[in-house]
Amino acid sequence: MLAGARNDGAASLRPTASSGVLVAPGGGAYNGGTDARPRSAGKPGAPLEPSRPTMTLPDDARAILPEGLLPKGLRPDEVLPKVRAIIHEAALLALPFFRQGERTTARVWNKSGGSPVTEADVTVDAFLKVRLSELLPGAAWLSEETRDDPVRLAHDLVWIVDPIDGTRAFLSGDPDWSIAVALLAHGEPVLGHVAAPVTATLYEAVAGQGATKDGVPIRVSAQAGVAGARVTGPKPMADRIERRLGLGETPGALVRLPRIPSLALRLVRVAEGLVDVGLVSSDARDWDLAGADLILREAGGAVVGLDGRPPVYNRREPIHGELIAVPEALRAEVLAGLG
């Protein structure tokens, strides 16, 4: 949990004096609940059940961050706590601009391609670039809001960052936005972090060491087949799966969940077992995927293209085609439905 984080919208949170645990205005502990997204008032339903955890996440990143790649004086076991603290500060920078159910107070511009960028995107991006670069001065940088520097292609360590993943959700008052951070070593994600500031939730993973949500191990669902699987993502992709697998309007049709605007959150909700199939349309970027990809891998799932191969990160053009995020048990059948 991102202790001390707050939501300046309709339901502000406050830390308790003794423990730092967030509590809602009514006094109950608040950790984002168990559903894949907040429900509208007056629409009750059974909560989605996350799967039981089976792995642990240590604070020691020694196995994947050899001391030769770290600056003098920084121990491997110091890396994770420092990254967590930096992401926590970034969340506190973003939240004052957010208004749940209302338009953001931040200034908004349009990029050359027409997508929006807010004052919060720029502020969080600049903060993370300074602080993460101070932590690992030898690491290159790739983020959505910073001009790309091809020098990253020759670096052993690369930070890949999306300061606000789900900008349209953020500016319109939808809580499903996130801060996504990954560290690549020799082209592979070795640290992955996805923070959901509105619910004060932090997902993270270390390569080979498992994945957690607020420090509690997570695991993908035990769904064994596509029939009846919970899916979120582009409707045309879900339609293709049903059509090609002959599911149609049968009882075995996909259970369609609301689309999750943040790609990083879409992937980590597969990792925690709240979603069975996450679909991603073409044109996703490294910063949308890398951190959440590692979290899903470490929780027993996979992100792959329609050729069945995992994404390759830190290429000259960090752009990807259509992707699926699934438990390993569903990979072959979902790919068959999209092939």
pLDDT at residue number 173:
95
Distances (CA, A) of 320 to 130, 296, 315: 27, 17, 10
Q: How far is the C-alpha of 202 from the C-alpha of 1, rounded, in Å? A: 5
- pLDDT, residue 13, reads 29
Per-residue pLDDT of the chain (339 residues; tens, 9 = 90+): 665 554 433 333 233 333 232 222 233 322 332 233 333 333 333 333 333 333 344 555 555 665 567 777 777 778 889 999 999 999 999 999 999 999 999 899 887 777 889 999 999 999 999 999 999 998 999 998 878 888 888 888 999 999 999 999 999 999 999 999 999 998 899 999 999 999 999 999 999 899 999 999 999 999 999 999 999 999 999 999 999 998 876 666 899 999 999 999 999 999 999 999 999 999 999 999 999 999 999 999 999 999 999 999 999 899 999 999 999 999 999 999 998
Q: Give pLDDT, residue 63.
A: 52
Nearest CA among 277, 289, 325 for reference residue 304: 325
| pLDDT at residue 72 in the model | 75
Q: Could you give the domains of the chain?
A: 67-217 (3.30.540.10), 230-338 (3.40.190.80)
Q: Are 296 and 303 in contact (CB under 8 A)?
A: yes
Q: What is the pTM of this model?
A: 0.82
Q: What is the pLDDT of residue 68?
A: 65
Residue 111 has what pLDDT?
77
Count other Cβ atoms within 10 Å, centred on residue 255: 13
Cβ count near 213 (within 10 Å): 25
Residue 131, phi-psi category: left (phi > 0), alpha (psi -120 to 50), beta (remainder): alpha
